[in-house]
C-alpha cells in the first residue's frame, strides 16, 4: 500500500502550540483544511492518546496521530505539522516531538497497513530531522514523496 497524496492544505509549518493536545489539534485542523476529516476528528485523536498513552510517538521527534476509522473521516489522507518548539507527549524515549503526522483512513484494513507503512518509512531519523527543518510546503511534499 502506498501513502496517500499530501496536498498543500494538509501541511502547516512552524506551528506554535502549548502542549501535545494543541499539536494534535493543529494536525486535525490540517486534515480538515484538506477535506480529509471533519473537525471532530481531532477530538478523536486526542481521546485515543488520553486512553492509550503516548503510543503515537513512534520515533524520536515524530508523532503519528490517528484515530479509528469512523464518520469523522471523509477520505484517506495524511497531514504534516512541524512545530516551532518541540512538545512533550510523555513518551519515555522519543520525546520531544517536532513533527506531527496525522492519519485519517476510512477502512480498518487500510488503517493498519498505512500506520505500518508510515512507521517503516520514518524509522530513519534523518527523514524526521529534514521534515522538521523544512521551510516551505513544496519542500515537505518533496521530502514526503521521497519516502514512498
Q: Please write the tens of the pLDDT for every residue from 86-132.
A: 999 999 999 999 999 999 998 877 767 777 777 777 766 688 899 99
Q: Per the domain annotation, does 148 fall within a domain?
A: no
Instruction: Give me the domain span that covers residue 59.
Output: 8-142
DSSP category for residue 56: T
pLDDT in tens, 52-91: 999 999 999 999 999 988 999 999 999 999 999 999 999 9
Query: Does residue 80 belong to any structural domain of this protein?
Result: yes
Per-residue burial over 94-112, b if 16 or more Cβ lie within 10 Å, else e, is bbbbbbbbbbbbbeeeebe
Residue 30: inside a domain: yes
Domain count, the chain: 1
Cell match 483544511: residue?
A: 33
Closest CA to 36 of 67, 3, 57, 9: 9
Would residue 3 count as lying in a domain? no
- Residues with a known catalytic role: 66
Cell 521527534, residue located: 61
Q: What is the pLDDT of residue 148?
A: 43
| Residue at 137 is within a domain | yes
Beta bridge partners, 37, equal 73
pLDDT of residue 121: 72
What's the Cα-to-Cα distance from 65 to each of 29, 41, 43, 138, rounded to whole Å? 12, 10, 11, 22
CATH number at residue 70: 3.40.930.10
Whether residue 147 is contained in a domain is answered as no
Amino acid at each position: 500500500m502506498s501513502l496517500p497524496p499530501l496536498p498543500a492544505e494538509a501541511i502547516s509549518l512552524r506551528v506554535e502550540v502549548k502542549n501535545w493536545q494543541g499539536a494534535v489539534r493543529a494536525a486535525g485542523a490540517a486534515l480538515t483544511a484538506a477535506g480529509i476529516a471533519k473537525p471532530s476528528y481531532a477530538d478523536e485523536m486526542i481521546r485515543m492518546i488520553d486512553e492509550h498513552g503516548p503510543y503515537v510517538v513512534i520515533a524520536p521527534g515524530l508523532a503519528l496521530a490517528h484515530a479509528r476509522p469512523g464518520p469523522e473521516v471523509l477520505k484517506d489522507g495524511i497531514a504534516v505539522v512541524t512545530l516551532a518548539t518541540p512538545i512533550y507527549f510523555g513518551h519515555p524515549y522519543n520525546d520531544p516531538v517536532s513533527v506531527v503526522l496525522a492519519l485519517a483512513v476510512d477502512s480498518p484494513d487500510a488503517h493498519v497497513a498505512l500506520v505500518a507503512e508510515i512507521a517503516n518509512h520514518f524509522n530513519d531519523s534523518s527523514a524526521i530531522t529534514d521534515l522538521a527543518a523544512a521551510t516551505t510546503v513544496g519542500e515537505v511534499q518533496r521530502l514526503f514523496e521521497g519516502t514512498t
